[in-house]
Structure 1
């Protein structure tokens, strides 16, 4: 996060407008995706789309928390520590969820392509929701561990104090540093190994298949996009190091560097989510255009007007 005393009013206003507008755009698109899912029962029994909705909802929560905290660092940077920790736990959980959800979605595509006869038995709706619950539980554990370390190392009165709400102020003990190393090593190695394994298995199946290879190639491209999204998300883990390196070369542009790093590592990866499924998936794209195209809205408005006119004519004729 940026330090407000580095920016003048105009620069701070432009940065906040960019972040807020992008956050609103992303959440509006994701909101339409969620509504499309809820309005069409055809998606409710498909584990692929259920997992995708989990990713979309996770991104929406993450964007809300991230953008709110970013704006607060300018508008009201110092507030209650307990409130800051609450926001931090939510943001940390959703941040950790993203790579795990991507790994789960890659595994589902692997089963669908490499084990199509067993897909319906393995990827049931019930098991999909169990996986989602486990995902949130696994993502929640590191955030709770951070708070437990704070409770063990600081007096309880600290939570009623006021602080500048940034990560370094919240978690700055050596225990937190060790925990971060262990968690990132375990989580990221699992996720990357999963993506690499599923990609090559799908790739091998696509080359060996004699029949319909279009779905296998599409799944292969989807996993590649998952990898690209994960790579962008992983940049957030090296953002502090990236800031230090770049700022050492360009100390005058410290504020601009931190802003660009935040934009690239936290906001841009969430723009890929609609691209991966909503645009590339023909079924989902068809339903989205069906319910949210401008033409449909205009037709619905005209139909409502006609109905109102017809009902008013009937009322008038009955009175006459």
Structure 2
């Protein structure tokens, strides 16, 4: 009787996991299609790929699309317990670790661009030129690669030669040998997000002062920029909560496997997928010029702005 209950429990667990994997596939497919449409719209007009805020927006779209695609492939491989060579797993880890930081760092850069546009309008053309944007993108990727370099450096210094020759199920956890390595990775992430939060709060306060002093169209434009900063801050908060998810999941796993699966599924949807669909909401829909271009492109040119 106990064996029958165990088999029934395993069957129920497997069925729940199957349903969750299918739902994730649908969500990822929808988000990737939306991002692809936005990326195509970005390249449809010269103004978009010569303006700093739109270029940075495209960087977040590419980063989010890459991390959604790679993490989904990793989810499927883990679900089927597919092993791979260690070198390929390192490449996957580098992509995920880099893109995890590229999006929030780029959001911070976009917030600072709004600060310059509203609080320093006379210097905006100089500070936010196309050349400056390319330098900014290099700095963003350079800063985003530091945590990954630190984690991999410690890993390669600690791992034995036999570890490299074994085929394994690829996951982020295999690069963490000791508890202090996880604490170090978390500390670096917290430091990064602290700096980002300070930058966003600073921009918010400065723009708020300008908004109170502005009038007419300037006041309307300033308040719109202020709302954009708030949305960037909310998206950054979701990314920050994502860093605590592994700690929470590890604690839940020790209590109950079914609860662990549900918590991990909720965290993945809420704090992993959600922040990566807010970028289209912020710029793809709220920006009037981009919205009209997107609507025209989505309707195959049938829509014309009056």
TM-score scaled by length of structure 1:
0.86
Deviates more, 1:218-227 or 1:150-159: 150-159
Match of 2:3 in 1: none
Work out the CA distance in 2 between the residues paired with 1:221 and 1:283.
17
Work out the CA distance in 2 between the residues paired with 1:280 and 1:6.
46
Q: CA offset at residue 173 of structure 1?
A: 2.4
Match of 1:75 in 2: 80
Asked if 2 retains the 8 angstrom alpha-carbon contact of 1:47 and 1:124, the reply is: yes
Work out the CA distance in 2 between the residues paired with 1:44 and 1:295.
20
Match of 1:146 in 2: 151
Alpha carbons of 1:126 and 1:174: their partners in 2 closer, same or farther (altered >3 Å)?
same
CA deviation vs aligned residue, 1:103-155 (integer Å, no higher than 9, x gap): 10000000001111110011110011111111112111221222221111112
Asked if 2 retains the 8 angstrom alpha-carbon contact of 1:61 and 1:94, the reply is: yes
Alpha carbons of 1:172 and 1:262: their partners in 2 closer, same or farther (altered >3 Å)?
farther
Match of 2:290 in 1: 284
Deviates more, 1:170-179 or 1:42-51: 170-179
Alignment of 1:253 with 2:254, yes or no, is: no
Alignment of 1:242 with 2:248, yes or no, is: yes
From the CA coordinates, give the structure whose radius of gyration is larger. 1
Work out the CA distance in 2 between the residues paired with 1:6 and 1:147.
38
Pick aligned residue for 1:160 from 161, 165, 169: 165
Asked if 1 retains the 8 angstrom alpha-carbon contact of 2:118 and 2:207, the reply is: yes
Alignment of 1:296 with 2:302, yes or no, is: yes
Q: CA offset at residue 46 of structure 1?
A: 1.0
Deviates more, 1:242-251 or 1:32-41: 242-251
Work out the CA distance in 2 between the residues paired with 1:216 and 1:6.
56
CA-based RMSD of the aligned residues comes to: 2.1
Alpha carbons of 1:204 and 1:269: their partners in 2 closer, same or farther (altered >3 Å)?
same
Matching of residues 226-237 of structure 1 within 5 Å: 226-237=232-243
Match of 2:20 in 1: 15
Asked if 2 retains the 8 angstrom alpha-carbon contact of 1:7 and 1:255, the reply is: no
Q: CA offset at residue 233 of structure 1?
A: 1.0
Q: Which runs of 4+ in 1 moved over 6 A?
A: none
Structure 2 unmatched ranges of 5 or more? 1-9
Pick aligned residue for 2:219 from 195, 201, 213: 213
Alpha carbons of 1:217 and 1:291: their partners in 2 closer, same or farther (altered >3 Å)?
same
TM-score scaled by length of structure 2:
0.89
Work out the CA distance in 2 between the residues paired with 1:78 and 1:226.
38
Alpha carbons of 1:182 and 1:247: their partners in 2 closer, same or farther (altered >3 Å)?
closer
CA deviation vs aligned residue, 1:200-250 (integer Å, no higher than 9, x gap): 111111011123211111111011111111111111110023224555676
Match of 1:102 in 2: 107
Deviates more, 1:103-112 or 1:264-273: 264-273
Pick aligned residue for 1:117 from 114, 117, 122: 122
Structure 1 unmatched ranges of 5 or more? 298-320
Asked if 2 retains the 8 angstrom alpha-carbon contact of 1:36 and 1:288, the reply is: yes
Asked if 1 retains the 8 angstrom alpha-carbon contact of 2:28 and 2:72, the reply is: yes
Asked if 2 retains the 8 angstrom alpha-carbon contact of 1:79 and 1:164, the reply is: yes
Count the aligned residue pairs.
293
Match of 1:29 in 2: 34
Match of 1:313 in 2: none
